[in-house]
Structure 1
């Protein structure tokens, strides 16, 4: 999956992942989902969630503190 320009920054798809959280630039991966975070809000984070197997992309809002756990 590649950024279509709707999110800040440049993003690449991580093809494999170990269990747990890890970060490559703005990309955060957790289990089988990829989270593309863009800090465009004052009190939250706009997050792009990509499921590699289906290619589904959806935008959610999340608490930054929860993302760091």
Structure 2
């Protein structure tokens, strides 16, 4: 069975030296980026990588997210 993925936002750029990223969500909310939730990130090549959210905090109009 092929799974359906729902786009939640876009990674704008890296943030800091610990590998965090800045994510702009389409809804403006961060519930989908709560700790211990897995999300799939689409790479430029078209394949997906499953990542676990460790922390997420809002900063202005985007979220700073750290993955495991």
Q: TM-score, normalised by structure 2?
A: 0.40
Task: Say which structure, 1 or 2, has more relative contact order (CA 8 Å, 6+ apart).
Answer: 2
- Larger strand share, 1 or 2: 2
| TM-score scaled by length of structure 1 | 0.39
